[in-house]
Amino acid sequence: MDDLKDHIRTFLREFKRIAVDRGIDVIPRRKNNDALSELELTKKNRRDEILTLSVENYCSGPEPDYDRPGEVWMFGKQIGDTNVYIKLKIAQVGYKKISKCLAFHPAEFPICYPCKEGEEEEK
C-alpha cells in the first residue's frame, strides 16, 4: 500500500506543478460543464478543488487512456453534499506536458477510496 501511496503522491505532485505553471485543460464535455452550475462552482473553484486533491481522494488508476496515449487516474471528492468524480491525466503535447481533467462531475456510482482512513465508500 505504501508503494501505491508514493505513486499517487508522485502523480499529484507533478500534475499540480504543471497545473500551477500552465493551468488545467478541462475537457469541455456537457457533463463537466453542467457540473459547475450544479455544484455552484466557478472555473477557478473547480481548479482549486482539483489542486487540493490528496492521496486520500484516490479512487483508482493509473489505467490506459483508451482515446489517446497515456494514463488516467481517478479521484473523488466531497464538495458540499455531493460526491464528485474526478479523472485526471498528464498529457505529453510536443515537448511539454499539460494537466488535463477528463471528468469533473457528480459521481454516478459509489466511489471507493482505498487509501482513505475509516470509511471505504461514499455515495
pLDDT band at 121 (very low <50, low <70, confident <90, very high): very low
Q: What is the mean pLDDT of residues 32-61?
A: 92
pLDDT beyond 90 at 48: yes
Give the residue from 120, 31, 16, 29 showing the smallest Cα distance to 73: 16
Structural fold of domain 2-114: YaeB-like fold (3.30.2310)
User: Which amino acid makes up residue 7?
Assistant: H
Burial of 61 (0-12, 13-18, 19+ CB in 10 A): middle
* pLDDT > 90: percent of the chain: 67
- Would you kindly state where each structural domain of the chain is located, as residue ranges? 2-114
117 pLDDT higher than 80: no
Pick from 86, 92, 95, 81: which is nearest to 12 by CA?
86
In this prediction, residue 1 has a pLDDT band, given cuts at 50, 70 and 90, of: low
Sequence-separated contacts (24+) of 81-87 with Cβ below 8 Å: 82/38, 82/39, 82/106, 82/107, 83/107, 83/111, 83/122, 83/123, 84/35, 84/39, 84/49, 85/59, 85/111, 86/49, 86/50, 86/53, 86/57
Confidence of residue 70 (pLDDT cuts 50, 70, 90): confident
Please compute the mean of the pLDDT values over residues 16-34 and round it to a whole number: 92
